[in-house]
Structure 1
């Protein structure tokens, strides 16, 4: 990457981040003999020293004191902690219980749900294509309810918690690393308490199963921090529309893992659901492209009319 431009570096970093997130079910599958709650508690606990180490290596200042003194900022991060912890737990539970396909569907739905939340909570306006995309996605969810006979609660819960998390963090002026550090610090006492309780009551796999299990649980901090750092590098160097396109790498890879590697059932009913969601995303992406082209055209016209 020595001779690459900052934007090229951004694409490489962001792509690796999304590939990492797309392959992360492999990590949780390696821990399918461990309860989802124990996995989550270790992920939180080991994330704290890992993030602090990365911040020290990257010479990024730790802003815990400033965040603590800003009560509005602190309580916003408490809210984001609750949301991201629930999101992590749902994802972990889904993977260890052979529901990887549901996680893929959830993260395909997420960007559309984020747009809808913007309209409902922030009174943002939607374009005609965005309305069409939301309507098609709704048909996909309804198909899952009527034809398959079940509400895709796992997918919807993942999409909703992550969309709300993104909404809170969007309006929380703190960088991603400090944000993650404070979020995990807030949850840290609870995580340590649960880990100790499980160990004392002989309900823990940590220190009781194998050294491989112990080290894999401890790696939860790295699994969480590395893609976030890569994403932060990419986000600083790339325009928003590029991130919008790249975000679909992760659920696509997760989908392929679920169907090809883990052989999860994928019948025609689920095919219709996914097909409708993918069609909705195609409309959503078309809207992004149109907006981007419009901005380029307006910028070109502005430079012609105002050459100086």
Structure 2
């Protein structure tokens, strides 16, 4: 299998898993969102630690401890992804899967906006149009919901901020996930200990299957991230950008077709505006990629010149 085909396989598998996450998190009730988050963090640390031990790659920690600015960046990334995970779990288990899907649809637009605000990047006209239409979509959805779609906005902002920090850190997927989860592990263990003493813990109290599902949260967090890293190393950015819509499309399908969440006309209009903004954004990205390839100078190797 060629590296390109393998990249598509890894990428599609990652987004397929993310797309069906609502089905998994629904199974974790009656555990509350905070308990599910705590288990996700703790078991992620355990799973990735075993993986790194198998790869004999624990030595990176020594080098990392000598880089305080990187450690500070990892702490910021950990807080952002922790808030993102909690919000997603809360959204799914409060029957708002459609709104969580919206968050990941508008995430690419938020990333562009962060590029302007934080990195002082200049946008092309089509990108401004996409952002404008996305803003109108949020306004339409606010009217439909009767309030700001805060779950979607928190998901988009936290994952956009997380992506920005991760890009600047440049850590490999497994190592990055291990350290981020480790930052959150102590408060997670503290919370699990506290609810165990109060008798409010669901772990080990519902069924064997439920307990195993909570333990599997670590592996199900790490595996799609590792698959995504494999795809990112093999695919062009434009192809990776198109794949990112697989996840929220599947999440939206879960919300509407499986969990029968309402999709009134106003909400559908808001989503249609989001999709229009994404079409403009994606088409502009392809056009810019083609222009860059055409403008790239042809480099002839000395061997070929002979």
**Cα deviation, residue 147, structure 1:** 4.3
**Cα deviation, residue 66, structure 1:** 1.6
Does residue 1:196 correspond to 2:193, yes or no?
A: yes
**Cα deviation, residue 173, structure 1:** 2.8
Contact 1:42 1:191 in 2 (8 A): yes
Does residue 1:134 correspond to 2:131, yes or no?
A: yes
Report the equivalent of 1:282: 279
Report the equivalent of 1:240: 237
Q: Any unmatched runs of 5+ in structure 2? A: none
CA–CA separation in structure 2 for the residues paired with 1:215 and 1:110: 32
**Cα deviation, residue 74, structure 1:** 0.3
Q: Matched residue of 2:31: which SS?
A: coil
Residue 93 (structure 1) aligned to one of 71, 90, 95: 90
Q: Deviations over 1:20-68 (max 9, x none)?
A: 1111111101012110000000000011110122233445455222212
Q: Deviations over 1:115-139 (max 9, x none)?
A: 0110011100111110000000000
CA–CA separation in structure 1 for the residues paired with 2:177 and 2:216: 16
Report the equivalent of 1:122: 119
Q: Matched residue of 1:122: which SS?
A: coil
Query: Taking structure 1 as reference, are residues 62 and 89 closer, same or farther at Cα in structure 2, changes over 3 Å only?
Result: farther
Report the equivalent of 2:166: 169
Which deviates further from its counterpart, 277-286 or 189-198? 189-198
Does residue 1:36 correspond to 2:33, yes or no?
A: yes
CA–CA separation in structure 2 for the residues paired with 1:217 and 1:29: 12
Contact 2:144 2:267 in 1 (8 A): no
Q: TM (normalized to structure 2)? A: 0.95
CA–CA separation in structure 1 for the residues paired with 2:63 and 2:109: 34
Please provide the CA RMSD for this pair.
1.6
Equivalent residues, number: 303
CA–CA separation in structure 1 for the residues paired with 2:256 and 2:185: 35
Q: TM (normalized to structure 1)? A: 0.95
